[in-house]
């Protein structure tokens, strides 16, 4: 491609969004000059479906639910006055509560003020808040944040040890839409134990964010926790970051949550444009379709060149993969759709995998995120005329070019700076792109039967563990191998699972293990 044609191609596939200090460059995705007619028809349908969603259509027929996370940043779009009111009221309550915490109007049991926030959640109830907190952290933050987003006992111990003697100054947020998520419940029980062992009343330090009437909601009401904030059935976990799930911790941090919402609102407006070349979310959806032939044939490698965006790829993994990873399409046909997302940050992690990206399988495209503003203050020169930020941009542009020279495509999203407005816009951009792309490929982005299947399988394993322990307790003097125990319990099809459960119980001192000639002949019995 000549220099002139290259520049023309860049201009043609460059979308400037001055309202948000953002631009999108898709020139290195090598898209066709014009939107194919077949895709144009699909996009018209996608725009119509997006409009119907915003008007309150049932997008999740499995659960008879609307999809209304777009209303969170523009309550006027909500289909009823009741929903409009509850959105506005909740936002006001969040702002008021955060102010009362920061001004020491609400105080902990044995301290003058709350200095820390401990957030308990998993999936969308933790990924979004973590991402926002990390992206917008500054020396002006009102509170120190800690997160428990797993049911790993050692991980729980590490976090609680980090809090240490400041537990009496720690506000705990328990976030679970269903109110029954096992990982979050386990973390809550573990944390409650630490509070009570320290002579503190857990309820005087704790806030619930959950569905109205859920098990967690009832517990918080009965125990008179500090506050209860709602999660609604029309907001999915992976799109909940601009609900109380993400706005409450952000407000406690001291962030301008109204500006985050404003950025998302502006982006939503831009993504309603009917011209795909002028619609940022549609452009992304088109590029995803173009790169993967509408079948997710290529993964998306997310490379933000900004430390503040380290967690963005993790956040996007759930948003994109849980939404688009589907076995069936709308017609019930088996399609096995999806879009794999992985990545970290540049330039740190390009040292780990750019070698393969350039010379290995061409089974991906890259999304670079560039941030023009290096830091708040002026930078020193690390070489004559060159700053550290110049090197960072050099690595981004150089890597982009090196990949393209070897037939690897990429797109680049450029932000003038990271601030509440641009972050809200970035969140909304990908939410809208996921929704549009799902319609293009004919799948439902708003249900997740695979997640529920995984939860049921985990519950089956827990039930089997209880059966094993019960049998051993009933026969305290007897030793059993994994195979003999599986046969007795009529679980012969799950011998390997029985073996793994026995090994775990023994490793934690809950059973006695007697080694055999090989790992599979070992025997186990109840502790004497």
Q: What's the rounded Cα separation, in Å, for the pair 377 and 520?
A: 63
For 299, the 3-state DSSP assignment is: strand
**Half-sphere exposure of residue 179: CA atoms within 13 angstroms, side-chain side:** 21
Q: What's the rounded Cα separation, in Å, for the pair 372 and 379?
A: 13
Task: Specify the pLDDT at position 455.
Answer: 75
Domains, the chain: 3-56+261-447 (3.40.50.10490), 69-255 (3.40.50.10490), 450-526 (1.10.10.10)
Place of tokens 């393969």: 356
Q: What's the rounded Cα separation, in Å, for the pair 363 and 359?
A: 11
- Give the strand pairing for 511-514 and 523-526: antiparallel
Task: Specify the pLDDT at position 93.
Answer: 98
> Would you write out the chain's pLDDT as a tens digit for each of its 528 residues?
566 678 888 999 999 999 999 999 999 999 988 899 999 999 999 999 999 999 999 876 666 789 999 999 999 999 999 999 999 999 999 999 999 999 999 999 999 999 999 999 999 999 999 999 999 999 999 999 999 999 999 999 999 999 999 999 999 999 999 898 999 999 999 999 999 999 999 999 999 999 999 999 999 999 999 999 999 999 999 999 999 999 999 999 999 999 999 999 999 999 999 999 999 999 999 999 999 999 999 999 999 999 999 999 999 999 999 999 999 999 999 999 999 999 989 988 777 888 899 999 999 999 999 999 999 999 999 999 999 999 999 999 999 999 999 999 999 999 999 999 999 999 999 999 999 999 999 999 998 776 667 778 889 999 999 999 999 999 998 999 999 999 999 999 999 999 999 999 999 999 999 999 999 999 999 987
Task: Specify the pLDDT at position 351.
Answer: 77
Cα–Cα distance list, 80 to 71, 83, 386 (Å)? 11, 5, 56
Task: Specify the pLDDT at position 430.
Answer: 98
Find out whether the peptide bond into 359 is cis, omega within 30 degrees of 0.
Answer: no
Task: Specify the pLDDT at position 132.
Answer: 98
Catalytic residue numbers?
Answer: 322, 351, 455
Please check whether residue 176 is in contact with residue 121, taking contact to mean a CB–CB distance below 8 angstroms: yes
Q: What's the rounded Cα separation, in Å, for the pair 128 and 427?
A: 9
Task: Specify the pLDDT at position 448.
Answer: 73
**Half-sphere exposure of residue 206: CA atoms within 13 angstroms, side-chain side:** 25
This prediction has a pTM of 0.94
- Going by C-alpha positions, the residue among 258, 338, 315, 328 that lies closest to residue 431 is 315
- Convert 384-445 into a string of H (helix), E (strand) and C (coil): CCECHHHHHHHHHHHHHHHHHHCCCCEEEEEECCCCHHHHHHHHHHHHHHHHHHHHHCCCCC
The neighbour count for residue 507, using CB atoms within 10 Å, is 10
């Amino acid at each position: 491609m000549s220099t002139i044609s290259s520049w023309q191609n860049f201009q043609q596939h460059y979308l400037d969004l001055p309202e948000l200090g953002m631009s999108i460059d898709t020139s290195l995705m090598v898209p066709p000059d014009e939107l194919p007619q077949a895709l144009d028809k699909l996009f018209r349908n996608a725009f119509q479906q997006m409009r119907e969603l915003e008007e309150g259509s049932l997008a999740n027929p499995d659960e008879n639910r609307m999809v209304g996370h777009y209303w969170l940043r523009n309550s006027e779009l909500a289909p009823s006055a009741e929903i409009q009111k509850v959105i506005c009221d909740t936002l006001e309550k969040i702002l008021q509560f955060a102010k009362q915490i920061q001004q020491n109007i609400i105080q902990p049991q044995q301290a003058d003020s709350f200095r820390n926030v401990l957030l308990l959640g998993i999936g969308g109830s933790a990924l979004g808040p973590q991402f926002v907190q990390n992206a917008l952290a500054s020396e002006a933050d009102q509170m120190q944040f800690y997160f428990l987003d797993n049911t790993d006992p050692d991980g729980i111990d590490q976090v609680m040890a980090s809090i240490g003697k400041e537990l009496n100054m720690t506000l705990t947020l328990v976030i679970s839409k269903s109110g029954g998520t096992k990982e979050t419940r386990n973390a809550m029980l573990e944390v409650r134990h630490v509070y009570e062992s320290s002579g503190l009343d857990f309820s005087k330090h704790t806030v619930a964010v959950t569905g109205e009437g859920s098990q967690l909601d009832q517990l918080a009401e009965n125990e008179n926790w500090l506050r209860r904030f709602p999660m609604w059935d029309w907001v999915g976990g992976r799109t909940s970051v601009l609900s109380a799930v993400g706005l409450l911790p952000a407000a406690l941090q001291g962030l301008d949550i109204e500006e985050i919402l404003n950025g998302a609102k502006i982006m939503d407006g831009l993504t309603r444009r009917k011209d795909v070349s002028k619609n940022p979310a549609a452009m992304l959806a088109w590029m995803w379709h173009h790169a993967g032939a509408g079948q997710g044939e290529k993964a998306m490698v997310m490379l933000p060149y900004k430390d503040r965006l380290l967690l963005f790829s993790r956040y996007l993994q759930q948003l994109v993969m849980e939404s688009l990873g589907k076995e069936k399409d709308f017609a019930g046909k088996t399609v096995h759709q999806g879009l794999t997302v992985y990545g970290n940050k540049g330039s740190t992690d390009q040292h780990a995998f750019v070698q393969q990206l350039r010379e290995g399988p061409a089974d991906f495209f890259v999304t670079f995120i560039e941030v023009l503003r290096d830091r708040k203050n002026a930078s020193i020169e690390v070489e004559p005329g060159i700053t550290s930020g110049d090197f960072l941009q050099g690595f981004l542009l150089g890597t982009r070019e090196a990949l393209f020279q070897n037939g690897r495509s990429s797109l680049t999203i450029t932000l003038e700076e990271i601030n509440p407005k641009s972050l809200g816009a970035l969140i909304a951009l990908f939410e809208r792109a996921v929704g549009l792309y799902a319609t293009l490929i004919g799948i439902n982005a708003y249900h997740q039967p695979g997640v529920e299947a995984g939860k049921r399988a985990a519950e089956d394993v827990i039930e089997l563990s209880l059966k094993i322990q019960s049998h051993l307790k009933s026969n305290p003097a007897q030793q059993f191998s994994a195979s003999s125990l599986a046969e007795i319990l009529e679980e012969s099809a799950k011998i390997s699972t029985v073996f793994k459960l026995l090994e775990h119980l023994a490793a934690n001192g809950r059973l006695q293990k007697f080694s055999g000639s090989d790992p599979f002949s070992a025997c186990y019995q109840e502790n004497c």
